Copies of this chain bind each other. A is one copy, B any other.
Amino acid sequence: MEYLVMLPGPTNVPNRVMNAMLAPVINHRSEDFRVLYRSIIEKTQKLFQTQSDVILLSSSGTGAVESSVVNLIRKGDKVVIPVNGEFSTRLADLIDSWGGQSIRIESPYGENPSYDEFEEVFDEHKDIKALYVVYNETSTGTTIRYMDKLGDLCGRKNAFYIADSVSILGGDELPVDKWNIDICVTASQKAIAAPPGVSPISVSPKAKKYIQENPAPILYFNLKRYFKYYSEHFETPFTPALPLCYAYDEALNLIFEEGLENRIKRHRKCADAFYEGLGAMGLTPYAKPDARSNVVIAVNYLEGVDDKKFRDLLSNEFKVLVAGGFGNLKGRVFRIGSMGEVNKYHVVRTLSAIESAFRMMGIDVPSGSINKAISKLN
């Protein structure tokens, strides 16, 4: 049974992308693979809007984010990181456990710090090695809207700028070079709409130089090895997850057939429609207005609604998958992934299922949400 997958990753994967996985097995040390890998790299550079080196790791997004830490951060390095959700907390903890010294700019979940707080921290500490930012915090449905200014700041302060863009790249603005991002990380199964298991990462010349001169004590996520294998052979150092490479390549084809700008516009419209429709049902987003994500919609439960019962109804009766909350937010919010292939039908079917599920649970939400949502889609 097929679900409508409105999760914040994995998302609905188009049939063309699924079927690409059935391409015959090839030798990953052969011209067959080199052709595929070069195609992937070139299209990924276009998607990232970067001239920098790009690598495709065979791991989830977490692995790719980790590679940005273990290759760049050394014992005692000061690392600034805004923390306001599950993923930014986990990243800050990783930086510390790896030996770095995180300087956390904390803000309440659902809100972002002001840009000025970053200026202040950089003024206070003269020796900041890097700024790590979770561009879209999947646990709370918040997006930081001054990524460009943070890039300028890092440029002025000579700090590396790393954007964890796992849940957003392909669904919102992200011109990597223009924003001065040194390392940008995403994953296949979010706004790119491929199956999970491969994760692209871009590395600026400045970050590449550092990584090559300071090799990391690890192997699988050792970016220096990936640079070497790519420049010498157009290959990956370790066996790639071949079917997922094919699928990812096809997903990139779909992105450029639609056009990146159109795709970002579509995501914005669908998000607007969700916020509008959910609002008409009397539901409120978890995120503050200026922090609301266009790819992950975190929604506060109405008083007394049981998370498991609600999501089981959606899944079992309507075949619509949405996610629950993480950590402290478990039971308090549900989250809609409005990403990848998301379209009018997805929005309408999801809102309709949510409305019906609430009614089945005896909660008489107002009507009209779907018309209001559709008004945002035209």
Binding site for B on A (CB under 8 A): 1-3, 5, 7, 9-13, 18-19, 21-22, 24-30, 58-63, 66, 70, 90, 94, 97-99, 187, 189, 195-197, 215, 217-221, 238-244, 247, 315, 321, 323-324
Contact = CB atoms under 8 A, between A and B. Distances in A.
Contacts of A22: 18-19, 21-22
Given A10-B25, A196-B241, 17 more contacts: A5-B26, A10-B239, A25-B195, A29-B324, A30-B315, A58-B241, A59-B59, A61-B239, A62-B239, A66-B219, A97-B217, A97-B218, A195-B242, A196-B240, A196-B242, A197-B242, A197-B243
Q: Which of A9, A197, A221 has the most CB of B within 10 A?
A: A197
Nearest to A195: B243
Q: Which 7 A-B pairs have the closest CB atoms?
A: A197-B241, A63-B220, A62-B238, A60-B239, A97-B217, A2-B24, A60-B238
Contacts of A12: 25
Contacts of A197: 58, 197, 240-244
A58 B189 CA distance: 14
A217 B98 contact: yes
Given A25-B13, A58-B197, A66 B217 contact: no
A155 to B, nearest CB: 28
Contact of A241 (B24, B70, B90, B244): B244
Contacts of A18: 21-22, 243
Contacts of A5: 25-27
A60 B217 contact: no
A241 B241 contact: yes
B94 A189 contact: no
A187 to B, nearest CB: 7
A97 B214 CA distance: 12
A29 B97 contact: no
Contacts of A11: 25
Contacts of A1: 24
A21 B243 contact: yes
Contact of A220 (B26, B60, B189, B242): B60
A359 B217 CA distance: 48
Nearest to A24: B2
A206 B299 CA distance: 44
